[in-house]
Amino acid sequence: ISHKSAKQKQRKEGEKMAMDYAKCAKEIFDTVGGRSNLVSAAHCATRLRLVTVDNSKIDMKKLENIDGVKGVFSNNGQLQLIIGTGTVNKVYDEFLKVSGMTAATKEEVKAAAAAKQPVFKRMIKALGDVFVPILPAIVASGLMMGLVEALGKAMPAFAGSDWYGILDLFANTAFTFLPILIAVSAARVFGGNIFLGAVIGMIMIHPNLINAWSVASMDAADIPVWHLFGFSIRQVGYQGHVIPVIIAVWIMCKLENWLHKHVPEMIDLFVTPLCTVLITGFLTIGLIGPVFSTAETYVLEFASWIITVGHGIGAMIMGAIYPLTVVCGIHHMYNVIEAGMLASDGLNIWMPIASAANFAQGAACLAVGLKARNYKTKSISIPSALSAALGITEPAIFGVNLRFMKPLVCGMAGGAVGALLGSIFHIGATSYGVTGIPGFLTTLDYSAQYAIMLAVSFAVSFALTWFTWKEDPEDAKVTVAKTDDAPAAEPTATEETAEEVTVDGTAKKLYAPIQGTIVPRNEIPDDTFAAGVLGDGVGIDPEEGVVVAPFDGEISSVTDTKHAIGITGPADMEVLIHVGVDTVNMKGDGFELLVEEGQKVKAGQKLMTFDIAKIKAAGYSPVAAVLLTNSDDYPEFKVVKTGKTKRLEEVFTV
């Protein structure tokens, strides 16, 4: 036994000598192409995160073979090198020295990586960033609007009641003032003053302007105009529009930031906001809006023409591209086409096209929701799919399908097939403004055909999305939270005294640092932890937000973001306790460290507290990884506990 211990000790000492942080950093620096190929660098608890100019210049195999690098992968423009807790920060410090770079935050590295993405991807990401914060508002309004309209169609008496009036008011508020919501969110995304953004949004739907939805029923000669700068500007609002608002606020933010840099500080407070609103307002009303309105006219004329072309081929084309017109915010104007159809022959053949397209987008969104592991994605997708089934697709398109793109395309395919069927069946509605499930109320003479059309649209879109869309590995790490979203209960008297349980803190054992349910290491919702790259161990799905020392030892490392602790103990065990998945993004919010690096601790001593409810609310899994980072040194390593565990129950031995 003594001979074996001596060999282990000799090997460990050799490894420590071999792990030259400066040498490791220099080799990484040279292999990634030096300073000319580096944009930024940061690190988290276990990984060195780099953004390079061109990843294709890097020999990944050589990078993986550098002593100290345990794995390499590239994701979302970032090159991530797995080095390990307690080591990565030392390698990072040396990397900054050899590269001459300055420290960057993880968020700055993400921003640098995002800036390298193609323009189209950046535009899609910007749209997603704008819409994600306002999704709760439009999801709630979409569901309510669909239900209220359905009840009004089903019960004509209800449609004329005070209850209908007030519920309709609640339901359509978010959509009536959607440009303001978009403007505020866009200003936040583009780095401008959100209140100035709100003003631009308000200008675009000011009550002195003619409501955009009323313009179609007016003669062009009756629309009032302003004569400014030698141009005629129509006094028309932009209710229901998306793209012009985002463009206007993007220009506003660029202008505001430029003015902040060039206007003297003494007068900046009033000059910058004044000039920002005036210039952006004129550009919006005089240029952005009118240009977009002209584009709308062409789109509407094209839509009217194409649905009568080619024995259903035109309907199929419109069923496919209909969601794109929703993205542009011009789908409300299709009421003009529908009204014209009803006036000429009393049958609205446009409605089935829109209905097939909407239902298909809802099906794609539902497939994402059922397949996704990411808690935020799932919680947005499922209610958005229901909203789309009721005819309101903005939550599904902007919140989910457009963000991931592939579901949007699959939904377009399903919409095309459904619209073709609708045309073949000659389905027509007796009114307009209602699609999806409520559409049965306006297609009573074609109920069976309408049901088949929706079913086919749904099946094609759902199946295509299910088999072609794959969740990003980084997103998949944030798994579905437990159904019990309530904050962790206060520890009971028994739990409070758990630290006082008598254990042999010097034994070659690790005792549970957290009370909860033990998760096998390969089921920890993080690819790196699950693969054992950072050592063997277990995960613990916590029932309370307390971490205690798993043995007598010394704190070897703590993170600035307070979510991870390294501790060394008996038989030179080196343990990482990492609370939650990707909780580095919480920047310490919800975590409190009770120890510091170098501090001696006893088994059962409290090391950290954390808020389970906050972790879940932020969209992250609270599962903690408890890993023996040098498990290769212990061939007799064995997990001895599964299922529920209390603090300080024996978990694994070496």
645 contacts 651 by C-beta, under 8 angstroms = yes
Q: Please report, for residues 14, 417, 618, 643, the alpha-carbon distance to residue 465 in angstroms, rounded to integers and kept in the order given.
A: 52, 15, 27, 35
Helices marked H in 390-437: 394-396, 402-404, 406-424
> What is the rounded CA–CA span in Å between residue 323 and residue 63?
44
DSSP per-residue codes, 97-114: HHH-PPP--HHHHHHHHH
Per the annotation, the verdict on 24 as an active-site residue is no
Amino acid at 36: S
Assign 296 to helix, strand or coil.
helix
Given 241, 331, 563, 578, which residue is catalytic?
578
In this structure, which long-range contacts are made by residues 218-226, counting pairs with CB atoms below 8 Å and at least 24 apart in sequence? none
Q: How large is the angle between the packed helices 406-424 and 313-328, nearest 10 degrees?
A: 140
253 contacts 196 by C-beta, under 8 angstroms = no
525 contacts 620 by C-beta, under 8 angstroms = no
Q: Who's near 233: CB < 8 A, 6+ residues apart?
A: 225, 226, 227, 285, 286, 290
Given 24, 43, 44, 331, which residue is catalytic?
44
> What is the rounded CA–CA span in Å between residue 608 and residue 605?
9
Per the annotation, the verdict on 44 as an active-site residue is yes
Q: Please report, for residues 184, 191, 250, the alpha-carbon distance to residue 194 in angstroms, rounded to integers and kept in the order given.
A: 5, 8, 12
> What is the rounded CA–CA span in Å between residue 97 and residue 23?
12
**CB count, 10 Å around CB of 100?**
9
Assign 73 to helix, strand or coil.
strand
Which residues are part of the catalytic machinery? 44, 578
